[in-house]
Amino acid sequence: MLSEAAELARAQSVAPEAALLAGGFITESFFYRSLAAHLGVAFIEKDASLGDGVRYPHSISAGIAPLSGPGPRWLVAPRGATLSSLLRRKDQGEEMAGSLAITTPANMSRLVRALAAPLIARHASLALATRYPQLSARAGATEPQCCAVIAAIATFGLACAFAPPMTAALAIGAGLLFLAAISLRLFAGAASAEPARAGLVSRVYDRQLPPYSIIVALHKEARIVRELVAALDAIDYPRGKLDIKLVIEEDDDATRLALEALDLPPIYEIVVAPRGWPRTKPRALNIALSLVAGEYVAIFDAEDVPAPQQLRDAAERFLRAPPQTACLQAQLAIDNIEDSWLTRLFAIEYAALFDVVTHGLADLRLPIPLGGTSNHFRTDVLRKICGWDPWNVTEDADLGLRLDRFGYRSETLVSTTREEAPAEIKAWITQRRRWSKGWMQTFVTLSRNPAALRKEVGWSGVMVYALMMINLVIGPLFGPFLTGVVIVDLARFGLPHPDNIISAVAATLWLSVAAFGAGSIVWIALLGMKRRKLLRLWLFLPLLLPYYILISAASWAALYDLIMRPFHWHKTEHGLAKSSWKKSQALAAAAARLGARKSADLPFAPLARRRPAIF
């Protein structure tokens, strides 16, 4: 067993104990208890009284913290060079019983986090708002922004009532903006058609791969943690270089008990988020960001099943990319397509967005709307820009644009993560109104200081941001109404008969908006369906009209939420899919792993089971 662990350590270029523990050869508790016995010092498995010199998170990463009271002065969870140093000191005959005690890294992390809970909660909620207040959604809309909105509404109302020529001019301006936003989608679709994303041929050796972290924020997900762990276990990456943080809320006992029942290996750490406000996913991600040890970090949702090679592909892309490439967005696909007409349309929408639009925007070297999951980041860059905005309920919407404002690029990764879509209208509306509210919060943040935004991204960048906001905020609010007006007018009066140049221009513009808008939706949807092999769903394309009406309804509900409860998090229930093929596979894999782990009574139970395929 030790020989095999040493071979793995050499092949993966990790510390011997990392290979031993990550490979599941022995349990973490047994290893550190044995180490304490070998060194002749005390082993502390549970609670301990830490002293005043604790520094979060440095005490966790260093594996050392002061103890208070009589007895040993230091609590140590040694790894790597520190562990080797202790062993050498023991061989030289040094007596350590009075100076230190041994604990596990997991227990060290738990003790330090419990002591630093107020600091952790404050940093997770306020780091961005304190350092870059103009970039956080916490402050909401400023007084000039509110006045501008009121003035725009008043101007439009007065123009419609008393100044028909001015109304026509406003219609021309609005038509030009909508047509430009539609053109952005069309250009993105055309750019994505270039065959420039062939898979990597050469592979990087395991010893060359960097440490990689994964963060999964969980809230009331007890029913699907088994499938989640099975999906994460299936990832093909050197286990000694994996660091997985599962973040749960302090009062979520059901999810915590479900995770503890899985008897997770040491590469997993259950991080309990201390109480704080707002209770959002980005706040939970910020808590874990301080703890991750990987050079890169990936974000997954509880219901995700990423492609096994995704981390390896992302690491190889990062190693070849310039430092300015700070984020890779993997493709997302709906897994439970057959559950309802709603999940089928959701699958079409995702195919259009992640198989066409995001690729096209990336190829045009424009910022891309991140998907909230399967995002891969350079950890140092993420920390530099203060992580996620916990006050924005669609944290990916903000982060993708904030990276661009800091001069970093986001690109796409040709690797698919399957996830579950809501099958019922109520759940779908709940999820979509949160997404829409987050984009509205992002719009408010972007428009808070136009001069600073222009200085950061230039006039071209401001135009791109404006067109993206039209597509993602203004379009869903007003698009269906404007489309309905055009359709009714055409049905009642036929083609327009303008009597002057202004009305002719306005009519031409709005007919172009209607034609190109509908054409862009259908064309990009068909292109995505072809790439995702969903052309069998072509009969559902006519249902895109009521689907976009639902999106508009969710957007108006989101506008209400933005005014009345801007930081409220609408939870999406997972684990309800009926047609998912991933459930049976994930459950079978998890059951086999857990059954093998419990098949022996010794602390090195994995000897009784077959080695994982990665070995």
**Which residues have CB under 8 Å from 74's CB, separation 6+?**
64, 65, 66, 67, 99, 100, 101
The topology (CATH level 3) of 117-615 is Spore Coat Polysaccharide Biosynthesis Protein SpsA; Chain A (3.90.550)
How many angstroms separate the CA atoms of 448 and 442, rounded? Answer: 10
| Terminal alpha carbon distance of the chain | 12
Distance between CA atoms of 375 and 310, rounded to whole angstroms? 11
Q: What is the pLDDT of residue 590?
A: 47
Spell out the alpha helix ranges (H) of 376-474.
379-384, 395-405, 425-446, 450-469
User: Using CA atoms, how far apart are residues 536 and 529, in angstroms rounded to an integer?
Assistant: 9
Beta carbons of 472 and 353 less than 8 angstroms apart: no
Q: Which helix (H) or strand (E) holds 197?
A: none
What is the per-residue pLDDT for 173?
85
Low-confidence ranges of the chain (pLDDT < 50): 196-201, 583, 586-587, 590, 593-615
What tokens does 14 get? Answer: 């990790």
**Tens-digit pLDDT profile for residues 17-39:** 999 998 888 899 999 999 999 99
Alpha carbon separation from 126 to 70, 114, 591 (Å, rounded): 37, 19, 41
Contacting residues for 261 by C-beta, under 8 A, at least 6 apart: none
Q: By the 8 A CB rule, do 266 and 22 touch?
A: yes
Judge contact between 76 and 101, C-beta under 8 A: yes
Domain ranges (residues) in the chain? 2-115, 117-615
DSSP 79: -
Q: Give the separation between CA 167 and CA 263, rounded to whole angstroms.
A: 67
pLDDT of residue 278: 92
Distance CA 445, CA 451 (A): 13
pLDDT digits (tens, 9 = 90+) for 141-168: 888 989 988 888 888 777 777 666 677 7
Considering only CA atoms, which of 365, 362, 367, 399 is closest in space to residue 384? 399
